[in-house]
Every structure is written in structure tokens, then in C-alpha cells.
Amino acid sequence: MTKGSKFVAVVMAALAVAGVAYGAAPADPTAEILRIDDQWVDAIDRHDRATLDAIVAPDHIETTPRGVLYTRAQLFRFLDGPAPRSATGQTSKLSDRQVHLYGNTAIVTGINTITNTTPASIVTIRFTDVFVKLDGRWRAVAAHTSRVEPAPK
């Protein structure tokens, strides 16, 4: 092999490696989004402002089961209310979640089962959360919840 052909071989190998690296698919963010979704619900239960501040985008909007719209500012006013839900016996459990990815947007659908000890009750909510990757971080920009009514007996 001549010096010229060695040079060409080295350049071709470098380009092939660079092409593989450049064309590599980005890591699947599904696990990260589900972790953030867990943190979001936990932070609401605990009235954890710092965590919510990192997750909830400034222009976040949420639609409740009654059709009422809540802004981020209203969510934070709620946090200034009574003791954290966990201190009063309320817990949330997420299940049946699916993540749908569309570039820098992720839609999470699932069920939140909310259990209260005082008074004893269980409420099931079906939810849709919308996350957008802003400045390198996944932020919650919208949410919609619907109450799941118990099946007729």
C-alpha cells in the first residue's frame, strides 16, 4: 500500500466513524420523562415548590375534570394552602402510563389513583401530560385530567 492509498484509507475510516457518530439516534428519553412525571406528582403531594419550579413551565396550563383552567401561578397558590397531602393521608399512584414522543415534545397518558385516609376514599383520574424540551430540560407545559367513574354495579 502506498502512502497515498494509506492516507485515503485513514480518511475514509475517519469519515465512516464520524458518519456513524453523526447519524446515531439520540437516546430514548422515555425513562427520563416517566421519572419527571413521578417527581411532579410526588412534589404536588408534598407541596415541594423547588421541584415543581424545575418541572412546571412558566406558561403551564392545566384543565381539571370540571373543565376549570389552572395556571402555574394558581398551582403555586394551592401549595401555600393546607398541609401537604402526604401529611393528611393522601397518596397518588400512577399506572398504565404510555409516552408518545414527537421530537422535543412528549405526551404522557395514564391513570392516577388518589387514595385518601381522611375521609376514606379512592378517586381515579385519567390524565394527559404534555412535556416540551426547553433549554435542554423536559418541562410540563400542559395537563388535562378526567375523573374515571366507577363501573355500574
pTM: 0.76
- Structure-block grid coordinates of residue 107: 405526551
Task: Name the amino acid, one letter, at 49.
Answer: R
Confidence band, pLDDT 50/70/90 cuts, at residue 149: confident
pLDDT tens figures, 29-59: 999 999 999 999 998 888 888 999 999 999 9
Q: Report all structural domains of the chain as residue ranges with CATH numbers, in order of start.
A: 28-147 (3.10.450.50)
CA atoms within 13 A on the CB side of 144: 6
- In terms of Cβ atoms closer than 10 Å to its own Cβ (0-12, 13-18, 19+), residue 136 is exposed
Is the CB of residue 48 less than 8 Å from the CB of residue 80? Answer: no
Q: Where are the beta strands (DSSP E) in the chain?
A: 56-63, 69-71, 91-102, 105-117, 120-134, 137-147
Please state, for a pLDDT cut of 70, what percent of the chain lies above it. 78
Ordered DSSP codes for 68-107: -EEEHHHHHHHHTSSS-GGGGT-EEEEEEEEEEEETTEEE
User: Among 56-60, 78-82, 87-91, whose mean pLDDT is lowest?
Assistant: 87-91
pLDDT tens figures, 61-79: 999 999 999 999 998 887 7
Residues 6+ apart with CB under 8 A from 118: 88, 89
